[in-house]
Homo-oligomer: A and B are copies of this chain.
Amino acid sequence: MLTDLKEKVWKANLDLVKYDLVTLTWGNVSGINREKGLVAIKPSGMSYEAMKPEDIVIVDLSGKVVEGKLQPSSDTPTHLELYKAFREISGVTHTHSEFAAMFAQAYREIPCLGTTHADLFKGDIPLTRMMKKEEVENDYEKNTGKVIIERFARLNPLEMPAVLVAGHSSFSWGKSPDEAVKNSLILEKVAKMALGTLCLNPECDNFPDYLLNKHYQRKHGPKAYYGQKK
């Protein structure tokens, strides 16, 4: 079942390797079929090289395995929380990509310092609060989803398709598994550029809102004019 979705999720997971976003098995991508309420996700701890499309696991929104012989990613409950809260998204990516993780570990949001950032993200990349002891010890992965959603109380997940989890690393999402992976890649590049910028100018903080909005809107607004007509 869902052969096409499994193929897309499989390919999106391989793109984590292509884009140099993962070490060993440190990342996973999922995709959702909204009509059926079913999610396709990478098996836990499996190497990207060995994985085949049929290894992708299908779970329902309660986390129950519906198809597949392997265990789904241990991060599955986080993915599911995001799908339930952010109704507009259809793909989720989790990685420990290095530069984004540096900000998450440093407890710093990634400030919007330039147009590369503004081309995708409408503002600073948000950071969750540190999770509490009880949130970590019980239902940790589900609660990881919950603190992300808490942080997005006044944010639009389509305008801000990524988050840093304090002391951990990043999640991103999009309208498809493929888009979720591309957003992870952009997050990583933006994080790297921000680190270098802050080395050169630690007080850097004056990228104007009108330039942020211009770049965001020319790619994503109602009058977007970047790219080809669809």
Asked whether, in the complex, the Cβ of A228 is within 8 Å of the Cβ of B101, the reply is no
> How many identical subunits does the complex contain?
4
Q: Does A185 contact B (CB under 8 A)?
A: yes
Number of A residues near B (Cβ < 8 Å) is: 61
Asked whether, in the complex, the Cβ of A210 is within 8 Å of the Cβ of B133, the reply is yes
Which A residues between 171 and 201 are near B, CB-CB below 8 angstroms? 182, 185-186, 189, 192-201
Pick the contact of A114: B105, B214, B227, B229 (CB < 8 A).
B105
Q: Does A74 contact B (CB under 8 A)?
A: yes
Given contacts A23-B185, A167-B211, 16 further A-B contacts (CB under 8 A): A23-B189, A24-B186, A45-B227, A46-B228, A71-B228, A96-B115, A102-B193, A102-B196, A102-B197, A104-B114, A106-B196, A106-B201, A107-B204, A107-B206, A115-B167, A137-B214
